[in-house]
Amino acid sequence: MRLRQIKIAGFKSFADPTVIDIRAPYIVIVGPNGCGKSNIIDAVRWVLGEGRGSELRGKAAAELIFAGSAARKPLGRASVELVLDNSDHAVKGPWGQYEELSIRRVVTGEGVSAYYINHQQVRKRDVQEIFLGTGLGSRSYAIVSQAMIARFTSAKPEELRVYLEEAAGVSLYKERRRETESH
């Protein structure tokens, strides 16, 4: 599975709809301080389901939606969409059949969030399930922040195991077992 595009509209400093194409195996984002580099990573974390109590900077809807500038009025909603190439069918479950997956999250000024997979409204957990076992979830090792590196170096063995389990792809099965046992 590969991330192909990040589409951002109305999220933080991205007032205008912006499409970031990821065609090369590696990309580097450069720019002056405050130009919005970290906001791109925030957008990716957010569409994967991060919110309250996470590392995302700015958690309330009002902080996530473009707040206006000298030249522009504030906007009323933010949208982030990830386009994933799933031609290797790394995604299991009901969405695994699709070669391409679009994951989108929208929030309005009232703070109401909605999630979509291939333009069909779903629950947050449907989005999270897509990424379980793929190494791309919001709680995976796929995005490594500076704060996380600090945590790794001081983590207890049990905490490190959680990351290892996601890396090895067993977290999906643990989640399934937990569900089965609770029924």
Residues that bind Mg ion (CB under 5 A): 37-38
Q: Which is nearer to Mg ion, 148 or 155 (CB)?
A: 148
Interaction of residue 12 with ligand ATP, rule CB under 6 A? yes
Interaction of residue 105 with ligand ATP, rule CB under 6 A? no
Instruction: List, as one string, the DSSP characters of 115-139.
Output: EEETTEEE-HHHHHHHHTTTT-STT
Residue 145 binds what, of Mg ion, ligand ATP, none (CB under 5 to 8 Å, by partner type)?
none
Interaction of residue 71 with ligand ATP, rule CB under 6 A? no
User: Is 39 part of any known ligand binding site?
Assistant: yes
Strand 120-122 relative to strand 77-85, pairing: unpaired
CA distance 103 to 92: 15
Helix axes 157-168, 171-182, angle to 10 degrees: 100
CA 41 to chain centre: 8
SS (H, E, C) 153-168: HHCCHHHHHHHHHHHH
Figure out which of the listed residues 35, 144, 150, 167 binds ligand ATP, where binding follows CB under 6 A: 35
Residue 17 binds what, of Mg ion, ligand ATP, none (CB under 5 to 8 Å, by partner type)?
none
SS (H, E, C) 88-107: CCCCCHHHCCCCEEEEEEEE
Residue 13 binds what, of ligand ATP, Mg ion, none (CB under 5 to 8 Å, by partner type)?
ligand ATP
Site for ligand ATP in 49-68 (CB under 6 A): 58, 63, 65-67
Figure out which of the listed residues 23, 33, 53, 179 binds ligand ATP, where binding follows CB under 6 A: 33
CA distance 39 to 21: 16
What is the contact surface with ligand ATP in residues (CB under 6 A)? 12-13, 31, 33-39, 58, 63, 65-67
Residue ranges for the known binding site are: 32-39
